[in-house]
């Protein structure tokens, strides 16, 4: 198999998609620049604050900019939100109270939320269950569609306070939901209940023209070492939504009564602004890389989700590897094609918060940043590699080619046995 020739073929076939993605990045960039201009962003806002961080204009203005770019009433963005899981935890504990029910309406939430909800792990660590919050779930239909009827009937339980939607597939063999579908779920919830609608938006930002907050959800949550950090933010997360939901989460983030009034920026502000500036462009680079990976691996005989010809709703590309050896080879190839730690051969390990060993390729400038070229997968059937990122299409392409080479090597060794 001549991989160079295959890439040429891929790029010809993908030209219309790449043009569409270019337009998307332009419109996203215009949205960000409009928000920067209206908020009168100036260099003085990047100055670090310390201590309590009262009156940090850079921080407060970035909150306004996020709200504006995401069509939300309010938002907060903090380098001190440690991860996506932490941001989601702030959201869940911000909105739920003892006796309430959390209803996940898109099947099982992301692995790391199991212990937060209290579905796994030891009792007594302060999960939602420990605080008397109940949990229920409506599965997606076998074809991957939301079960609108099922959601409507689950809302007959009037203790449901949060209807929880996960946009991206996460580590599940499912498809990613579009913003339009999230809008329809939101309408369904509104018709039957006054519960908050909360969205795990990880990996979704800037992949479509609109975010879930533009179709009326109460709260949307994401990580800055994924899409909206643009590869620049060194840590952090955001929560955006209605004024009420964001205020409640602000009290949980810091302390009741204190809310979003404090929080020193410690010099992290400029990277967060710069990251948002880059985000529409960088997400486009990742999307192009994902399309290319889908094309190549499909031609090499692998099942991919989404298909190379499909329009995307997040930056994740899954490749079904069929066995642990191929999955490991795929991730090793991505690592060998990365800018940092390219000499390292990755191995599966027991990551905190995940049930099965996970293999992770992350030759990234920022640890675990997955808008940067990265791949991971739990070592369990059907051995899916979840691949994402690429700060530049050029480097993403090199990484994907290395992955293909490693996979072909294993296949050839197997054949010659």
Ligand X SMILES: *Cc1c(COP(=O)(O)O)cnc(C)c1O
Question: Which residues are bridge partners to 349 per DSSP?
Answer: 358
In this structure, is the dihedral angle defined by the CA atoms of residues 96, 102, 106 and 109, taken in order, positive or negative?
positive
Question: Which residues are bridge partners to 102 per DSSP?
Answer: 135, 162
State which of residues 85, 242, 335, 374 lies at the interface with ligand X (CB under 6 A): 85
Nearer residue to ligand X within complex by CB, 45 or 199: 199
State which of residues 17, 36, 70, 83 lies at the interface with ligand X (CB under 6 A): 83
CB of 409 to ligand X, least distance (A): 29
Whole-angstrom distance, CA of residue 393 vs CA of residue 410: 26
Residue of minimal Cβ distance to ligand X = 84
Whole-angstrom distance, CA of residue 310 vs CA of residue 314: 12
Nearer residue to ligand X within complex by CB, 55 or 173: 173
Nearer residue to ligand X within complex by CB, 85 or 186: 85
Stretch that binds ligand X, among 32-40, 83-91, 251-259, 268-276 (CB under 6 A): 83-91
Per rule CB under 6 A, count of chain residues that contact ligand X: 12
Nearer residue to ligand X within complex by CB, 114 or 261: 114
Nearer residue to ligand X within complex by CB, 45 or 359: 359
N- to C-terminal Cα separation, the chain: 19
Q: For the window 219-258, what string marks contact with ligand X as x by the rule CB under 6 A?
A: ----x-----------------------------------
Other CB atoms closer than 10 Å to residue 190's CB: what's the count? 14
Stretch that binds ligand X, among 48-56, 80-88, 266-274, 374-382 (CB under 6 A): 80-88
State which of residues 110, 135, 297, 393 lies at the interface with ligand X (CB under 6 A): 110
State which of residues 62, 116, 129, 202 lies at the interface with ligand X (CB under 6 A): 202
CB of 270 to ligand X, least distance (A): 22
Torsions phi, psi for 274 (to 5 deg):
-60, -40
Cα pseudo-dihedral 101, 259, 232, 360, rounded to 10: -30
Is residue 168 at the binding interface for ligand X, with CB under 6 A as the rule?
yes
Stretch that binds ligand X, among 16-24, 82-90, 177-185, 266-274 (CB under 6 A): 82-90
- Listed in order, strand segments (DSSP E) in 167-297 are 196-200, 219-223, 237-241
In SS3 terms, 38-105 reads as HCCCCHHHHCCCCCCCCCCHHHHHHHHHHHHHCCCCEEEEECCCCCHHHHHHHHHHHHCCCCCEEEEC
Instruction: Give me the residues that bind ligand X (CB under 6 A), please.
Output: 83-85, 110, 112, 166, 168, 170, 200, 202-203, 223
């Amino acid at each position: 198999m001549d991989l160079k020739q295959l890439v040429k073929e891929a790029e010809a076939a993908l030209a219309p998609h790449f043009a569409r993605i270019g337009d998307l990045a332009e419109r996203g960039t215009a949205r960000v620049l409009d928000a920067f201009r209206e908020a009168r962003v100036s260099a003085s806002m990047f100055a670090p604050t310390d201590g309590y961080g009262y009156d940090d204009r850079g921080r407060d203005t970035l909150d306004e900019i996020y709200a504006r770019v995401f069509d939300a009433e309010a938002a907060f963005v903090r380098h001190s939100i440690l991860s996506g899981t932490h941001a989601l935890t702030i959201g869940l504990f911000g909105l739920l109270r003892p006796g309430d029910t959390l209803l996940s309406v898109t099947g099982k939430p992301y692995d790391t939320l199991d212990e937060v909800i209290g579905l796994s792990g030891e009792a007594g660590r302060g999960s939602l269950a420990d605080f008397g919050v109940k949990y229920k779930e409506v599965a997606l239909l076998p074809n991957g569609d939301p079960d609108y009827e099922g959601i409507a009937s689950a809302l007959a339980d009037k203790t449901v306070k949060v209807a929880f939607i996960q946009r991206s597939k996460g580590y599940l063999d499912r498809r990613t939901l579009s913003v339009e579908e999230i809008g329809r779920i939101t309408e369904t919830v509104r018709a039957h209940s006054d519960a908050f609608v909360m969205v795990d938006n990880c990996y979704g930002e800037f992949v479509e023209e609109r975010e879930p907050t533009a179709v009326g959800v109460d709260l949307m949550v994401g990580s800055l070492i994924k899409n909206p950090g643009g590869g620049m933010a060194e840590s952090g997360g955001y929560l955006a939504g209605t004024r009420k939901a964001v205020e409640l989460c602000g009290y949980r983030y810091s302390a009741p009564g204190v809310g979003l009034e404090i929080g020193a920026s410690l010099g992290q502000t400029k990277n967060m602004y710069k990251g948002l500036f880059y985000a529409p462009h960088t997400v486009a680079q990742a999307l192009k890389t994902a399309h290319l990976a889908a094309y190549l691996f499909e031609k090499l005989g692998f099942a991919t989700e989404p298909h190379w010809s499909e329009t995307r709703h997040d930056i994740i590309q899954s490749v079904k590897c069929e066995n642990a050896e191929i999955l490991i080879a795929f991730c090793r190839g991505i690592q060998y094609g990365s800018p940092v730690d390219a000499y390292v051969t990755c191995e599966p390990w027991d990551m905190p918060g995940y049930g099965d060993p996970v293999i992770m390729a992350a030759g990234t400038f920022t640890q675990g940043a997955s808008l940067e070229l990265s791949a991971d997968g739990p070592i369990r059937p059907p051995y899916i590699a979840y691949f994402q990122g690429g700060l530049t299409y050029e480097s993403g392409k090199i990484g994907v080619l290395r992955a293909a080479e490693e996979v072909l090597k294993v296949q050839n060794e197997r054949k010659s046995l």
